[in-house]
Amino acid sequence: MLVEETFTVAAPKAEVARFLLDVPRMGACVPGVEDLQRVDEDRYAATLLVRMGPIQARFKGDVTLDAGGAPDTIVATASGRDATTGSVAQVTFSADLVENGDGSTEIRSVSDVTIRGRLGQFGSGVVTSTAREMVKSFAQCAGQELGGVTPDTDQPSSPPGAASVIGRGLLSWLRDIWARIFHRGSRGGGK
């Protein structure tokens, strides 16, 4: 499934790219990362602790960085296996960096997440939601690391009243909350 997240951070593109290519620093922003260790130039071993409600999975695996497109595009692929549930996770995270001209950079990220095995059967809704939450949490952390997230101007500052709702529709409650916190919009969906 694809999880798309676009967010803006108050830092120039080169600095954002440096951050994303600095795996230990970037990894610290990924919720649940444990034991991140360099294996060779572009490859790291890591364990990712993922919590889906009461379920806890520990994916052991590795992360490979593709800096070939930097600073415009940065791609990281990760895969790991959780022994308890016999599940494997694969994530391809790609980020396009676009400079806004005001010194800030828009990060357009697309994460392709596949979970196979028993956790993959647990429910795509749960997996999508968990992946979305992780990317959002990462975005928030990255924003803080890089000097804060630009306030979002596209979103209404508070949910519209009922009177205005009828007839023109509403953005979702969740989207409202998240949008107000740190980002411009998000989309998750099945592949």
Partner 1 sequence: MIRFVEPRDLQEACAVLADDEWGNKVISGGTALVLMMAQGLIAPSTLVNIGRLQGMDGISRDDARITIGARATHRAIATSPEVMQWLPALADACGRVGNVRVRNVGTLGGNLAEADYAADPPTVLVGLDAVCHVTGPHGARDLPVADLATGFYSTSLGPGEIITAVSVPIGEDRVSAYEKFVSRSSEDRPCVGVFATARYDGSSIEKLRVVVGAAVAVPRLCDDITGSVAGDALEDATIRNMAAAISEAIDPIEDARGSAWYRRKVTAVLVRRAVERVSR
Partner 2 sequence: MTTTVDRLPGVLGLSIPMPDAEERVVGTLRYTVDHSVEGMVHARLVRSPYPHARIVDVDVAGALAQDGVLRVLTGADIERAVEIPNPYFGLTRRDQAPLAIGRARYGGDPVALVIAETPQSARDGAEAVIVDYDELPYVIEPMEALAAGAPQLHEEWPGNECGEWRLHRGDVDLAMSQATHVFEATYTSPMANAVPFEPHVAIAAWEGDFLEVWTATQWPSAVRGELAHMFDTDPGNVQVRVFPLGGGYGAKSQLKIEPMVAVAAKMVGRPVRLELERDEVFLTTGKHPAVMDIRTGVDEEGRFVAREIDLVYNGGAYAVMTPKAVAQGLLRSIGPYRFPNIRIRSRGVYTNTVPSGSFRGAMTNQAAFAYESHTDEIAEGLGIDPFDLRERNLLQEGDVFASGQVMHDIHFQELLRDVAAVIGWGEETAPTPGKAVGKGIAVMVKTTPPGTRSEVRVEMRSDGDVLVHTNSVDMGQGVLGTLTQLTAHHLGVDIGKVRVQDPDSSTFDSMTAGSRTTFVADHAIGEACESIRRQVAELADRSDHPSPRTAADYEEIMLGAGITSLIGEGAYQSPPSDALSNPLDIKGEVADHWHQGAVAVEVAVDVETGKVEILRCHGAAWAGRVVNPVRARQQSEGSIIFGLGPALFEEVIVADGQVTNPNLSDYMIPSIVDVPIELTSSSLESPDRDAAIHGVGEMTIPAVAPAIANAISRATGARVRQMPMTSERVLRAIVGEPE
Q: Choose the one of partner 2, partner 1, none that binds residue 114, judging by a C-beta under 5 to 8 angstroms depending on kind.
A: partner 2
40 vs 102, beta carbon nearer partner 2: 40
Residues from 121 through 140 that contact partner 2 (CB under 8 A) = 121, 123-124
Which helix (H) or strand (E) covers residue 117, if one does? none
The contact pattern for partner 2, residues 48-77, with x = CB under 8 A and - = no contact, is: ------------------------------
92 vs 124, beta carbon nearer partner 1: 124
Q: Which residues contact 55 (CB under 8 A, 6 or more apart)?
A: 85, 119, 122
Strand order, beta sheet including 2-9: 33-40, 43-52, 55-66, 73-82, 87-99, 105-116, 2-9, 185-189
Give CA–CA dist 81/139, Å, rounded.
24
Maximum pairwise Cα distance, the chain: 60
Q: Choose the one of partner 1, partner 2, none that binds residue 116, judging by a C-beta under 5 to 8 angstroms depending on kind.
A: partner 2
Chain centre to alpha carbon of residue 51? 15
37 vs 121, beta carbon nearer partner 1: 121
68: contact with partner 1 by CB under 8 A: no
Token pair of 136, please? 């959002």
191: contact with partner 2 by CB under 8 A: yes
Task: Among 18, 108, 118, 175, indicate the residue that binds partner 2 (CB under 8 A).
Answer: 118
Q: Which residues contact 48 (CB under 8 A, 6 or more apart)?
A: 30, 32, 33, 34, 58, 59, 61, 78, 80, 89
Please, what is the minimum distance in Å from the beta carbon of residue 95 to partner 2?
A: 22
Residues from 33 through 52 that contact partner 1 (CB under 8 A) = 52
Sign of the CA dihedral running 135, 122, 91, 24: positive
84: contact with partner 2 by CB under 8 A: yes
Task: Among 35, 38, 144, 165, indicate the residue that binds partner 1 (CB under 8 A).
Answer: 165
Distances (CA, A) of 159 to 31, 80, 128, 167, 184: 29, 40, 25, 15, 15
190: contact with partner 2 by CB under 8 A: yes
- The contact set with partner 2 (CB under 8 A) reads 1, 81, 83-84, 86-88, 114, 116-118, 120-121, 123-124, 190-191
